[in-house]
């Protein structure tokens, strides 16, 4: 009798332990059995390993199922140059999404939540193969065509003594030479350079320095729209403010406590990166006009596309479309002109 | 003092005598233990979605301090699965009484006896706590190491050597079980005196002799003595809380050390997990780094220097103020009883602070134990982070006040007059204020 009970007890112990082992492994097998091919993607801060897949393969017209979760903090999942709404990836929670691509090519997926100092490194590629018109290659950035050295930006040669009002500048519009209001001039010239050039015009000798600055502010305002500035602001707040700060002062949460940027530190990245690999310097203060008034739109566009070598500024070329970058540039100048809240035509 | 012997009730006696109820509970906890290790190793790395973290550090750890110890002393030890595999081999069976199995059956080395190693183990838990408590895989590895160690030790040494001398939780529960309301004692000492076989002692996995039991610290409530007693002379008593604490019970220096380590751990855990100091949290988490070494140093100085120093000063003063002279070593050991109610109530108050706010995670991880997106009982994703309510804050103040009052009463009982109790009460007061500041301030 005792032996029978002992045997029963042994069976019970072994049986219960087996159930404990079967639940995780059997459950995984069961839940995986009836699912279509699913790519499980784990989001982790770059310090913890980054995305679990750097490259995801997909085929034109065939749905790509992604089963995404975060292993540490809140991340985002979104695809560069697309209208795909960003997904919020919460730690331990799974989000499913299905993507279908109709053109072959390389797409960039990235995290859009400021998850840590190396947040921007959370990028990966979706390689879409198959038939169809391939994604167009990006045109060569204008800074390369024009041969502008974006790694040694010059401080503005001249700055206004007080904020220049674009609205007041409108009254001098008819006095301005034709080249001053052309798009090409705007793109390739910094506000300070244009101001110097206009200052040298004898026809404008009657205008005071401040009048002339206001004329330049008006020119800059002519090159954008309220919508573009609003778009630029949205992009800036989501992507740039982490380092550059919401008010453009270069005091974003990710760069606090880092040494201040100066022109000498802006080299082509031959310095040894920090252990965190990121954030060597604080970005410049955009509200100080000597920075932005010395930079042409092409230079700013180039920096956004390629990033700032050795400064920790990431490259946004694979993520923003050309109109988005243009909008961003026009929003940036609002820090220098102070027309953030101003009505723009 | 009044006692209520549970074996007077036939149904309770049947439940306690039969090996089945306890065996079944242990078999279930063993399966749960194995599952916890697997969940920790293979489940989600996100702690709040992993059964291992939530069940070990929220559910079990809370239940131990709020339920098992205050209402059952070492009752958890009676259903703990950790010694089970080892005992199977040691006893040659799992349900039958102690028999001849395999193993060297050596005696535990004399110099390693006492609670020293348990206290050391608890210090280690505290030093690495920030990672162990938040990383499911580390939790799993620790559990695995513990059960393997218990198994190996049971093959080398006799009885439950691991539980008696090494298990940090055994040290914790044993210490506070002295204040618990349950005890196993003999009914009639004369009956035992006439019984020469001492079947109870041979059957006891803990190496205890029921007739000699004065304290519940080392009795694991396994009921083996009750089952083998030929004369039905074992009582399982419900008793007033704190019954083991008094002028007559003997206490050792290692109990004082254990009690002090527990007090220091309560303070440090409160500071790390509940305090507003982010740098302290990251220091405790960054094991091996300079800030962590600093944290470990401060922790060890507090646990081995400051707190014992204050206590030693109080015990010395109490010894000096008392009418009869005693050595400092005796004073340290004897007065260590004050640390029991003080520590127990501090740990309960500490537990209240997170038990209410985090309890919602328990059902969510039952529904999705591995954090793989399952929904077994439809409760996945129902976890919410609770807020500390004014009720729980008030409760913590009351618990700490009860702890101080209780410790003061014990101090008064174990000293011969009011004067020598004063330094011990002052020590208890300083500790309670420290806890109050960390929990509420």
Q: What is the pLDDT along chain A (345 residues), one digit of tens a residue?
A: 667 899 999 999 999 999 999 998 888 888 777 666 778 899 999 988 999 999 999 999 999 999 999 999 999 999 998 888 899 999 988 999 999 999 999 999 999 898 888 888 899 999 999 988 888 888 888 888 888 888 877 788 889 988 888 889 999 999 999 999 999 999 999 999 999 999 999 989 999 999 999 999 999 999 999 999 999 999 999 899 998 999 898 888 888 777 776 655 554 444 444 444 444 678 888 988 899 999 999 999 999 999 887 777 889 999 999 999 999 999 999 998 876 544 444
Residue in B48, B94, B361 to test binding to A, most A beta-carbons within 10 Å:
B94
pLDDT in the model for residue A1: 65
Reference A328, options A300, A289, A293, A307; nearest CA is A300
CA distances from A248 to A295, A336, B82 (A): 15, 9, 59
Contact A133, A103 (CB under 8 A): yes
Contact A17 B96 (CB under 8 A): no
Residue in A91, A92, A116 to test binding to B, most B beta-carbons within 10 Å:
A92
Whole-number Å distance between alpha carbons of B30 and B47: 22
Residue with tokens 């103020």: B321
Parallel, antiparallel or unpaired: strands A64-70 and A39-43: parallel
Contact A28 B372 (CB under 8 A): yes
Whole-number Å distance between alpha carbons of B187 and A264: 89
Q: Counting runs of H as helices and runs of E as strands, what totals does chain B give?
A: 24, 3
Backbone φ and ψ for A266, nearest 5 degrees, come out as -90, 80
pLDDT in the model for residue A34: 67
Backbone φ and ψ for A89, nearest 5 degrees, come out as -110, 105
pLDDT in the model for residue A240: 92
Contact B370 A24 (CB under 8 A): yes
Complex confidence, ipTM: 0.92
- Selecting from A10, A17, A93 the residue whose C-beta is nearest the C-beta of B31 gives A17
Backbone φ and ψ for A82, nearest 5 degrees, come out as -135, 165
Residue A54: CB atoms within 10 A of its CB come to 9
pLDDT in the model for residue A74: 94
Size of interface A-B (CB pairs under 8 A): 71
Nearest chain B Cα distance for residue A241, angstroms: 24
Sign of CA dihedral B376, B379, B385, B387: negative
**Residues contacting B238, CB < 8 A, separation 6+:** B3, B4, B6, B181, B182
pLDDT in the model for residue A344: 44
Domain with CATH 2.60.40.420 in chain A: 39-129
First to last CA, chain A: 97
Whole-number Å distance between alpha carbons of B63 and A314: 50
- CATH architecture type of domain A39-129: Sandwich (2.60)
DSSP secondary structure of B132-165: HTT-HHHHHHHHHHHHHHHHHHHHHBSTTHIIII
Whole-number Å distance between alpha carbons of B234 and B241: 20
Using a 10 angstrom Cβ sphere, with 0-12 exposed, 13-18 middle and 19 or more buried, the burial of residue B403 is buried
Contact A6 B35 (CB under 8 A): no
Contact B132, B142 (CB under 8 A): yes
Contact B338, B409 (CB under 8 A): no
Nearest chain B Cα distance for residue A101, angstroms: 27
- Selecting from A17, A21, A92 the residue whose C-beta is nearest the C-beta of B46 gives A92
Residue in A24, A30, A33, A65 to test binding to B, most B beta-carbons within 10 Å:
A24
Q: State the fold for domain A138-345.
A: Cytochrome Bc1 Complex; Chain D, domain 2 (1.10.760)
Structure tokens at A256: 């606090």
DSSP A101: -
Nearest chain B Cα distance for residue A274, angstroms: 18
Backbone φ and ψ for A114, nearest 5 degrees, come out as -70, 90
Q: Any alpha helices (H) in A134-253, and if so which ranges?
A: 142-145, 166-169, 183-188, 191-199, 209-222, 226-235, 241-244
Q: Is B29 on the interface with A (CB under 8 A)?
A: no
Nearest chain A Cα distance for residue B38, angstroms: 7
Q: Which of residues 49-78 of B touch A (CB under 8 A)?
A: 49-50
Q: Is B82 on the interface with A (CB under 8 A)?
A: no
pLDDT in the model for residue A270: 46
- Cα angle at B358 between B294 and B432, to 5 degrees? 55
Name the closest residue on chain B to residue A2, using Cα atoms.
Answer: B96
Domain with CATH 1.10.760.10 in chain A: 138-345
Name the closest residue on chain B to residue A15, using Cα atoms.
Answer: B31
On chain A, the residues whose CB falls within 8 A of the CB of B50 are 92
Whole-number Å distance between alpha carbons of A277 and A121: 10
Contact B266, B350 (CB under 8 A): yes
Contact A91, B53 (CB under 8 A): no
First to last CA, chain B: 39
Name the closest residue on chain B to residue A74, using Cα atoms.
Answer: B46
On chain B, the residues whose CB falls within 8 A of the CB of A6 are 93-96
pLDDT in the model for residue A250: 87
Contact A24 B46 (CB under 8 A): no
Contact B440, B401 (CB under 8 A): no
Contact B35 A23 (CB under 8 A): yes
Reference B142, options B81, B31, B52, B75; nearest CA is B52
Sign of CA dihedral A246, A250, A252, A254: positive
Contact B374 A10 (CB under 8 A): no
pLDDT less than 70: residues of chain B: 1, 386, 388
Contact A24 B24 (CB under 8 A): no
**Residues contacting B257, CB < 8 A, separation 6+:** B115, B116, B119, B308
pLDDT in the model for residue B320: 87
């Amino acid at each position: 009798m005792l032996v029978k009970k002992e045997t029963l007890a042994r069976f019970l112990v072994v049986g219960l332990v087996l159930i404990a082992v079967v639940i995780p492994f059997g459950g995984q097998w069961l839940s995986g059995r009836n699912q279509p091919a699913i790519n499980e993607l784990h989001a982790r801060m770059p310090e913890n390993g980054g995305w679990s897949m750097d490259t995801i393969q997909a085929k034109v017209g065939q749905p790509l199922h992604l089963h995404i979760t975060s292993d540490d903090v809140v991340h985002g999942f979104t695809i560069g140059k697309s209208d795909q709404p960003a997904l919020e990836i919460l730690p331990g929670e799974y989000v499913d999404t299905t993507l279908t691509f109709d053109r072959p090519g390389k797409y960039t997926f990235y995290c859009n939540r400021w998850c840590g100092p190396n947040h921007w490194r959370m990028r990966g590629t979706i390689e879409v193969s198959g038939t169809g018109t391939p994604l167009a290659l990006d045109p060569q950035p204008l800074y390369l065509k024009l041969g502008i050295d974006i790694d040694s930006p010059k401080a503005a040669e001249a700055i206004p003594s007080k904020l220049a009002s674009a609205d007041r500048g409108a009254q001098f519009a008819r006095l301005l030479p034709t080249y001053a209001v052309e798009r090409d001039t705007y793109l390739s010239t910094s506000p300070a350079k244009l101001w110097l050039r206009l200052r040298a015009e004898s026809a404008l000798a009657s205008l005071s320095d401040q009048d002339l600055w206001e004329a330049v502010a008006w020119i800059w305002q002519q090159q954008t729209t309220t919508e573009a500035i609003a778009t630029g602001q949205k992009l800036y707040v989501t992507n740039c403010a982490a380092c550059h700060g919401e008010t453009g002062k270069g005091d974003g949460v990710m760069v606090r406590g880092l040494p201040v940027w100066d022109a000498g530190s802006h080299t082509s990245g031959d310095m040894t990166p920090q252990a965190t690999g990121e954030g060597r310097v604080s970005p410049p203060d955009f509200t100080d006009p000597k920075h932005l008034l010395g930079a042409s739109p092409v230079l700013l566009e180039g920096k956004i596309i390629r990033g700032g070598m050795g400064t920790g500024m990431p490259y946004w070329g694979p993520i923003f479309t050309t109109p988005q970058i243009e909008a961003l540039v026009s929003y940036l100048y609002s820090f220098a002109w102070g027309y953030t809240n101003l009505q723009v035509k | 003092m009044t006692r209520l012997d549970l074996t007077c009730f036939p149904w309770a006696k049947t439940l306690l005598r039969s090996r089945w109820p306890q065996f079944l509970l242990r078999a279930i906890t063993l399966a749960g233990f194995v599952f916890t290790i697997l969940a920790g190793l293979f489940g989600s790395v996100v702690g709040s979605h992993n059964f291992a973290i939530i069940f070990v550090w929220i559910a079990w750890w809370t239940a131990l301090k709020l339920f098992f110890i205050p209402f059952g002393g070492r009752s958890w030890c009676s259903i703990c699965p950790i010694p089970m595999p080892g005992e199977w081999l040691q006893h040659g069976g799992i349900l039958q009484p102690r028999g001849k199995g395999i193993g060297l059956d050596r005696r535990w080395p004399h110099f390693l006896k006492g609670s020293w190693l348990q206290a050391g183990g608890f210090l280690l838990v505290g030093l690495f706590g920030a990672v162990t408590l938040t990383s499911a895989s580390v939790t799993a590895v620790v559990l695995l190491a513990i059960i393997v160690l218990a198994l190996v030790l049971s093959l080398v040494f006799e009885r439950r050597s691991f539980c008696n001398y090494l298990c940090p939780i055994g040290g914790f529960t044993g210490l506070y079980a002295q204040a618990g309301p349950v005890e196993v004692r003999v009914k009639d000492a004369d009956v035992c005196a006439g019984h020469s076989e001492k079947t109870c002692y041979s059957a006891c996995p803990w190496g205890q002799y029921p007739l000699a039991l004065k304290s519940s610290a080392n009795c694991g409530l396994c009921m083996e003595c009750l089952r083998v007693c030929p004369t039905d002379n074992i009582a399982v008593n419900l008793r007033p809380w704190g019954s083991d604490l008094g002028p007559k019970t003997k206490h050792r220096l290692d109990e004082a050390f254990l009690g002090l380590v527990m007090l220091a751990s309560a303070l440090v855990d409160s500071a790390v997990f509940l305090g507003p100091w982010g740098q302290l949290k990251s220091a405790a988490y960054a094991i091996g780094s300079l800030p962590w070494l600093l944290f470990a140093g401060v922790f060890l100085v507090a646990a081995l220097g400051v707190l014992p120093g204050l206590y030693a000063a109080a015990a010395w003063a109490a010894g000096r103020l008392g009418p009869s002279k005693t050595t400092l070593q005796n004073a340290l050991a004897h007065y260590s009883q004050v640390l029991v109610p003080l520590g127990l109530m501090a740990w309960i108050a500490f537990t209240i602070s997170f038990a209410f706010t985090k309890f919602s995670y328990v059902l969510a991880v039952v529904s999705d134990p591995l954090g793989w997106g399952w929904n077994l009982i439809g409760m996945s994703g129902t976890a919410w982070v609770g807020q500390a309510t004014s009720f729980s804050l008030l409760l913590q103040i009351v618990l700490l006040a009860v702890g101080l009052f209780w410790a003061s009463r014990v101090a008064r009982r174990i000293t011969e007059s009011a004067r020598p109790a004063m330094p011990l009460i002052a020590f208890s007061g300083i500790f309670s204020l420290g806890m109050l500041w960390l929990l509420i301030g």
